[in-house]
A and B are shown apart, each in its own frame.
Chain A
Amino acid sequence: MPRRVVVTGIGAVSAAGWGVGPLLEALRSGRPLAGSITRFDASRHRTRIAAEVPPAPAAVAAAIPGWRRLSRSDRYAVAAAREALVRAGRFPRGSGPEMGVFFGTSTAGMPECERFHERLQAGAFAPVALLRSQEANGPGDAVARDVGAAGPVESVSSACSSGALALRAALEAIRDGEAAVALAGGSDALCELTHAGFNALRSVDAAPCRPFEEQRAGLTIGEGAAVLVLESEDEAERRGAPVLAEVLGAGASCDAHHMTAPHPQGAGAARAIRAALFDALRDPGDVTWINAHATATPQNELSEWKAIEDVFGARAAAIPVVATKSLTGHLLGAAGAIEALATVDSLVTGMLHPAPEGGLIDPRAPAALVRGGALRLGDVGGRSWVALSTSLAFGGSNAAVLFGAAARAAGV
Chain B
Amino acid sequence: MKVAVTGIGAVGAFGTGRASLEAVLALGAPAKTAAGRPAPDSRRGWSASPPLLAAAQDLSEWVPQPQARRMSAPSRMAVAAARQALHDAGLPRTGPDSEVPAGVVMSTSWGSAHYTERILDQIRREGPEFVSPFYFTECVANAAAAQVALSLGARGPNITVAQREAGVVLALARGAREIAAGRASVVLAGAADEMTPTLHMILARFGALSLSSDGVARPFDRGRDGLLAAEGATVVVLEPLEAARRRGARVLARVETWGCGFDPTAGPVSWGRETRLLGTRAARSLSSADGPLDAIVSGASGSPSGDRAEASFLQGLKAALGLPVLPPVLAPKGATGEYGGFHVGAAVAAAAGAPVAPPAGFSAPDAELGVEPHRGSLPRCPRRVLVSSCASGGAAAWAVLSGETA
Interface positions of A (Cβ within 8 A of B)? 44-46, 69, 95, 97, 101, 106, 113-114, 117-118, 120-121, 128, 131-133, 135-138, 141-142, 144-145, 147-159, 165, 169, 172, 178, 192-193, 195-201, 252-260, 267-268, 271, 275, 393-397
Choose the segment among B3-11, B159-167, B244-252, B311-319 that binds chain A (4+ C-beta atoms closer than 8 Å).
B159-167
User: CA A118 – CA B181 in complex, angstroms?
Assistant: 46
User: CA A118 – CA B119 in complex, angstroms?
Assistant: 12
In the complex, the answer to whether A394 meets B128 with C-beta atoms within 8 Å is no
User: CA A153 – CA B149 in complex, angstroms?
Assistant: 25
Q: Does B261 contact A (CB under 8 A)?
A: yes
Most buried by B among A118, A131, A193: A193
Most buried by A among B109, B147, B162: B162
Answer whether A154 and B142 are a contact pair too, CB < 8 Å, given A44-B129, A254-B156, A256-B153.
no
User: CA A72 – CA B128 in complex, angstroms?
Assistant: 22
In the complex, the answer to whether B394 meets A252 with C-beta atoms within 8 Å is no
Give the 7 A-B residue pairs with the shortest CB-CB distance, closest first: A395-B146, A197-B136, A254-B158, A136-B162, A157-B141, A252-B157, A196-B128
Q: Which residue of B lies closest to A128 (CB)?
A: B205
Q: Does B143 contact A (CB under 8 A)?
A: yes
In the complex, the answer to whether A268 meets B155 with C-beta atoms within 8 Å is yes
In the complex, the answer to whether A196 meets B393 with C-beta atoms within 8 Å is no
In the complex, the answer to whether B133 meets A158 with C-beta atoms within 8 Å is no
In the complex, the answer to whether A254 meets B261 with C-beta atoms within 8 Å is no
Contact of A259 among B137, B154, B266, B267 (CB under 8 A): B137
User: CA A131 – CA B198 in complex, angstroms?
Assistant: 12
In the complex, the answer to whether B158 meets A253 with C-beta atoms within 8 Å is yes
Q: Does B110 contact A (CB under 8 A)?
A: yes
In the complex, the answer to whether A196 meets B123 with C-beta atoms within 8 Å is yes
User: CA A57 – CA B146 in complex, angstroms?
Assistant: 39
In the complex, the answer to whether B156 meets A137 with C-beta atoms within 8 Å is no
Answer whether A253 and B170 are a contact pair too, CB < 8 Å, given A69-B268, A153-B261.
no
Answer whether A132 and B269 are a contact pair too, CB < 8 Å, given A106-B140, A201-B133.
yes
Q: Mark B109-141, 1 if CB is under 8 A from A, else 0.
A: 111000011011111110111011101111111
User: CA A254 – CA B391 in complex, angstroms?
Assistant: 29
In the complex, the answer to whether B268 meets A132 with C-beta atoms within 8 Å is yes
In the complex, the answer to whether B261 meets A45 with C-beta atoms within 8 Å is no
Answer whether A154 and B137 are a contact pair too, CB < 8 Å, given A117-B117, A256-B154.
no
Q: Which residue of B lies closest to A399 (CB)?
A: B157
Contact of A154 among B121, B153, B170, B205 (CB under 8 A): B170
Within 8 A of A (CB), among B180-207: 181, 183, 198, 202, 205-206
In the complex, the answer to whether B264 meets A395 with C-beta atoms within 8 Å is no
Contact of A149 among B149, B198, B262 (CB under 8 A): B262
How many residues from B make CB contacts under 8 Å with A?
77
Distance from A322 Cβ to chain B, minimum over Cβ atoms (Å) = 25
Distance from A150 Cβ to chain B, minimum over Cβ atoms (Å) = 6
In the complex, the answer to whether A154 meets B143 with C-beta atoms within 8 Å is no
Most buried by B among A154, A254, A260: A254
In the complex, the answer to whether A395 meets B158 with C-beta atoms within 8 Å is yes
Answer whether A141 and B145 are a contact pair too, CB < 8 Å, given A46-B129, A156-B161, A395-B140.
no
User: CA A252 – CA B145 in complex, angstroms?
Assistant: 14
Distance from B102 Cβ to chain A, minimum over Cβ atoms (Å) = 9
Within 8 A of A (CB), among B271-293: 274, 277-278, 281
In the complex, the answer to whether B262 meets A144 with C-beta atoms within 8 Å is yes
- What are 17 A-B pairs with beta-carbon distances under 8 A? A131-B202, A133-B268, A135-B164, A142-B268, A154-B163, A157-B140, A196-B123, A196-B129, A197-B135, A199-B128, A252-B183, A254-B156, A394-B137, A394-B140, A394-B146, A395-B149, A397-B158
Q: Mark B173-185, 1 if CB is under 8 A from A, else 0.
A: 0100100010100
In the complex, the answer to whether A395 meets B142 with C-beta atoms within 8 Å is yes
Distance from A129 Cβ to chain B, minimum over Cβ atoms (Å) = 9
Contact of A159 among B142, B155, B162, B262 (CB under 8 A): B142
Write out the residue numbers on chain A whose beta carbons fall within 8 Å of the beta carbon of B158: 158, 252-254, 256, 395-397
Contact of A197 among B119, B141, B181, B266 (CB under 8 A): B119
